Amino acid sequence: MIQTEGLKFAYPGSPEVLRGIDLKIKDDEFVAIMGENGAGKTTLVKTFNGLLMPSAGRVKVDGVDTHDSSVAKLSRDVGLVFQNPDHQLFSETVREELAFSLRNFGYEEDTIDRRVASILETLDLTRYAESSPFVLSGGERKRVALAAVLVWNPKHIILDEPTIGQDYQQKDRLRNFIIQLNAQGKTVIIISHDVEFVAECKPRIILLSRGLVIGDRPAEDILTDEALLDRASLTRPQIGALMHQLKDYGLPERTIDVYSAEQAILHALGRKE
């Protein structure tokens, strides 16, 4: 479990970015952290693996205060994929990028080869295995950065804006992969402005604004609350907006994803499928 108690943080010479955050994220939860630019989302998750230490309050990961653990240990348990993959990548080939951390952790070469091959296939990167990550597109580099973290199988996985640069098919594959990871008992935390992607995933949403939690509820509640969305400079997802307009026809207003909307419309038309 990841837990914060009265968490505050300020960069040197700047006002507080986090102004008192109390959260509990369970081991098997799928959470989306959303909010306007500057709300403190990335700062918050960097306290989860020790990259940043609280100015006040505390953060516990699996019961251990981050002040009492090393960044190396925390990073082994809490894998963070940065928003900009160029802040994370450095190896000459994609294969070497994925193998680097496993070698550092002391894995045998046959285990490394097996894990690298598996994650390359899962994220549709096999054909780029011998390519430099820096000649790939932004979306492809994003997937390499994700693979480089997932390959060591951390207990808690944090993805900062994972859908940037991804097309619809890649987003759908990512969604299914995240849901699969969560079903395996992983804590999955995403930071995202992509309301359409979050609506399709339907996680618990923690909504931040100006360093404070202003909402912490299921996706159907947050993404249909116009007042909250407006405070966080977000808009209702397109399917949610459509269902809101059709509410007078008896359709459920809290529907936010295309799959549920399809079933609701078919039911309303008398065609249960």
Whether the predicted pLDDT of 272 surpasses 60: no
State the pTM of this model: 0.91
* Average per-residue pLDDT for the chain: 93
Nearest to 205 by CA among 29, 22, 21, 8: 29
226 shares a domain with 256: no
201 shares a domain with 104: yes
pLDDT band at 166; cut points 50, 70, 90:
confident
Nearest to 199 by CA among 169, 168, 170, 224: 224
Task: Say if residues 20 and 7 touch (Cβ distance below 8 Å).
Answer: yes
Domain containing 47 — which CATH number?
3.40.50.300
157 shares a domain with 125: yes
Domain that holds residue 267: 237-273
Cα separation, 215 vs 226, in Å, equals 12
Q: What is the mean pLDDT of residues 242-270?
A: 88
Cα separation, 243 vs 220, in Å, equals 12
First vs last Cα of the chain: how many Å apart? 39
164 shares a domain with 136: yes
127 shares a domain with 12: yes
210 shares a domain with 145: yes
252 shares a domain with 153: no
**Which residues lie closer than 8 Å to 254 by C-beta, 6 or more apart?**
220, 221, 224, 243
259 shares a domain with 204: no
Cα separation, 261 vs 242, in Å, equals 9
180 shares a domain with 268: no
Q: What are the pLDDT digits (tens) for 174-228?
A: 899 899 999 999 999 999 999 999 999 999 999 999 999 999 999 999 999 999 9
Q: Rounded to a whole number, what is the largest CA-CA distance in the chain?
A: 62
209 shares a domain with 164: yes
Q: What are the pLDDT digits (tens) for 101-140?
A: 899 888 999 999 999 999 999 888 999 999 999 999 988 9
* pLDDT attached to residue 271: 59
Domain count of the fold of the chain: 2
* pLDDT attached to residue 94: 96
